[in-house]
């Protein structure tokens, strides 16, 4: 029997939590507590404790979080910031929008930026590095932080796809001057619209972030700098506070599903799988996505689609260097080659064990096994 497995089942995930969410939503609305109220303050505190940082500042979305983090950390017009080409365009756009120049670096087989790739892109104008922690995995940050220290560079992390993932026990987004995350609905910790946060251990940087998100207004109401209208709204904060309380279970489930994929698909030579859960003691992955490489990608995706399994190719199949109109560098050979092979299998907690086994069965069917 053909099953229907959507790539991401938004209605099912809401229905799972609806009975517990409705009183929370109703309470916020009845209080008229829409902007900068206690729900936001409580969520920021809860997330700070989860991350082990001093400050979390909730903002309107993940892109503005990056812009604010870069600006508060000291990136200025004319600076160069190294960022991987294998990421969503928002990473480079944030660099551009603070007046700096994105310099694109290559990735490794785990699809993350490497210290070697960063080193190749250093120039006298390099002022910052933006590691992008993708698909629920944190890059090997030792070498990247060594380069930052040796060259006095600012590190602002884009950890929008990796909230809770770790490298050597340290959570993504906590290595540099600032880290960021997105709460877009498909994220591991997602709200019902746009949302984001910036986090830091630097008191002065945190104060800048709080000014930037609310038109540059200080606690007295005086405008002391030019800022943005970029506040995480209180309703979304209340939803996120509820979801964060169960976030460890979300992560465990994703890692379990990734283990099924690994056990069922590891023997197929045409597939390059993500690193398996617990395959490397330095990494704790949360599997925001399950991104694979396959030489017969388009054929395999068509077969899966015919069997009711929906897959996607991140970012429409193009990484940043392939958007020629942006005029950025394109010397990223691994990224260039992988864009013809990479795609995402379903990975979210609306999936049952049987759903994942069904996906694996259909992949084996494609390869005649």
DSSP assignment of 176-207: SSEEEEE--TTSSS--SS--EEEEES-HHHHH
Helix (H) or strand (E) holding 56: strand 55-59
**Euclidean distance between CA atoms 145 and 155, whole angstroms:** 8
Which residue, 129, 78, 79, 132, is CA-closest to 108?
Answer: 132
pLDDT at 1: 80
Low-confidence residues in the chain, pLDDT < 50: none
**Euclidean distance between CA atoms 336 and 350, whole angstroms:** 33
Under DSSP, the state recorded for 315 is G
Residue 366: strand, helix, or coil: helix
**Euclidean distance between CA atoms 94 and 78, whole angstroms:** 14
Query: Within 10 A of 26 (CB to CB), how many other CB atoms are there?
Result: 10
pLDDT at 330: 85
pLDDT at 369: 67
**Euclidean distance between CA atoms 294 and 273, whole angstroms:** 9
Query: Within 10 A of 72 (CB to CB), how many other CB atoms are there?
Result: 25
Cβ 155 vs Cβ 145: under 8 Å: yes
Q: Largest Cα–Cα distance in the chain? A: 69
Burial class (CB in 10 A: 0-12, 13-18, 19+), 226: exposed
Structure tokens given for 185:
């609905």
**Euclidean distance between CA atoms 201 and 33, whole angstroms:** 28
**Euclidean distance between CA atoms 260 and 353, whole angstroms:** 8
pTM greater than 0.85? yes
Distance from the Cα of residue 273 to its chain's centroid:
19
Q: At residue 155, what are phi and psi to the nearest 5 degrees?
A: -110, 120
Residue 348: strand, helix, or coil: coil
**Euclidean distance between CA atoms 223 and 202, whole angstroms:** 22
Domains of the chain are 11-245 (3.40.640.10), 246-366 (3.90.1150.10)
Q: At residue 6, what are phi and psi to the nearest 5 degrees?
A: -65, 155
- Relative to beta strand 342-345, strand 290-294 is antiparallel
Cβ 172 vs Cβ 157: under 8 Å: yes
Q: At residue 70, what are phi and psi to the nearest 5 degrees?
A: -60, -50
Helical H segments across 201-332, by residue range: 203-213, 234-245, 247-265, 297-306
């Amino acid at each position: 029997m053909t099953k229907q497995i959507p790539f991401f089942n938004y209605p099912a995930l809401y229905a799972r939590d609806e009975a517990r969410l409705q009183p929370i939503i109703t309470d916020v609305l009845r209080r008229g507590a829409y902007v900068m109220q206690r729900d936001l303050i409580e969520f920021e505190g809860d997330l700070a404790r989860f991350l082990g940082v001093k400050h979390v500042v909730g903002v309107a979305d993940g892109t503005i979080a990056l812009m604010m983090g870069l600006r508060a950390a000291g990136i200025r017009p004319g600076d160069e910031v190294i960022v991987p080409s294998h990421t969503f365009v928002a990473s480079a756009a944030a660099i551009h929008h603070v007046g700096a120049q994105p310099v694109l670096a290559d990735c490794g087989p785990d699809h993350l930026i490497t210290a070697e790739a960063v080193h190749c892109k250093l120039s006298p104008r390099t002022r910052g590095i933006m590691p992008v922690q993708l698909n629920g995995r944190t890059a090997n940050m030792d070498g990247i932080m060594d380069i930052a220290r040796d060259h006095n560079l600012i590190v602002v992390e884009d950890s929008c796809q990796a909230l809770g993932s770790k490298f050597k026990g340290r959570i993504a987004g906590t290595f540099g001057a600032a880290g960021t995350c997105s709460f877009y609905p498909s994220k591991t910790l997602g709200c019902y619209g746009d949302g984001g946060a910036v986090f830091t251990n630097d008191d002065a940087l945190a104060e800048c972030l709080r000014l930037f998100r609310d038109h540059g207004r200080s606690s007295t109401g005086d405008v002391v700098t030019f800022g943005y209208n970029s506040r995480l709204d209180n309703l979304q904060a209340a939803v996120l506070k509820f979801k964060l309380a169960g976030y460890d279970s979300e992560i465990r489930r994703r890692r379990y599903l990734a283990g099924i994929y690994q056990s069922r698909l590891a023997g197929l030579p045409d597939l390059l799988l993500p690193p398996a859960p617990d395959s490397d003691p330095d990494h704790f992955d949360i599997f925001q996505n399950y991104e694979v490489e396959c030489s017969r990608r388009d054929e395999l995706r068509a077969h899966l689609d015919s069997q009711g399994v929906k897959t996607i190719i991140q970012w429409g199949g193009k990484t940043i260097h392939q958007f020629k109109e942006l005029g950025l560098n394109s010397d990223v050979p691994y990224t260039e080659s992988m864009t013809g092979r990479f795609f995402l299998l379903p990975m979210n907690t609306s999936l049952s064990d049987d759903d994942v086994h069904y996906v694996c069965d259909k992949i084996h069917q494609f390869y005649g096994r």
